[in-house]
């Protein structure tokens, strides 16, 4: 299973996919974090605890995290970096290999256009995973699933997953 993470300072999206019989399948997806009225440290704690629960519940083989992008607001980038750090820490703590990709390359591979909008990414992700549009309310979730799909497509991970599932 591949866990995609779209880190954020308020909410962090996650999506877990696997491959069955040559097709990608969504196992789980959602949001980790709390409202922006919650203290920043408490939001980071909720992200960490949520990831611990995912690592306990699912047999994750790879974690894919979105790289930090350049932004004009230093405070936003700093908070985003803290959220990424929590995600990377929890993945390392769980002993899972971490991969990082920038949003442009993910969009190029999954959607076919590096500057695709979040709505376009969501539509393609829903099509690839055979999900109906009512299932996914937030772009954080579809972005996380897109990261996992991208990694699966470019790394040959589907074959590795099959091999691991046969031996376990």
Query: What residues are labeled active site?
Result: 6, 66, 140
CA torsion through residues 82, 35, 6, 54, sign = positive
CA angle 107, 19, 128 (to 5 degrees): 40
SS3 64: strand
In angstroms, how far is CA 117 from the centroid of its own chain? 17
CA dihedral 114, 6, 101, 68 (to 10 degrees): 90
């Amino acid at each position: 299973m591949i866990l995609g993470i779209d880190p954020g300072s308020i909410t962090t999206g996650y999506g877990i996919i696997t491959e069955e019989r040559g097709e990608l399948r969504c196992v789980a997806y959602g949001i980790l974090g709390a409202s922006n009225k919650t203290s920043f440290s408490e939001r980071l704690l909720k992200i960490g605890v949520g990831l611990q629960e995912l690592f306990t519940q699912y047999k994750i083989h790879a974690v894919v995290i979105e790289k930090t992008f350049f932004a004009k607001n230093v405070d936003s980038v700093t908070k985003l970096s803290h959220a990424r750090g929590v995600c990377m820490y929890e993945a390392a703590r769980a002993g899972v290999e971490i991969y990082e990709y920038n949003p442009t390359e993910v969009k190029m591979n999954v959607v076919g256009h590096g500057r695709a909008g979040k709505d376009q990414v969501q539509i393609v992700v829903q099509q690839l995973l055979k999900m109906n549009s009512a299932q996914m309310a937030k772009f954080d979730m579809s972005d996380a699933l897109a990261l996992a799909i991208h990694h699966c497509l470019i790394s040959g991970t589907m074959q590795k997953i099959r091999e691991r599932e046969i031996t376990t």
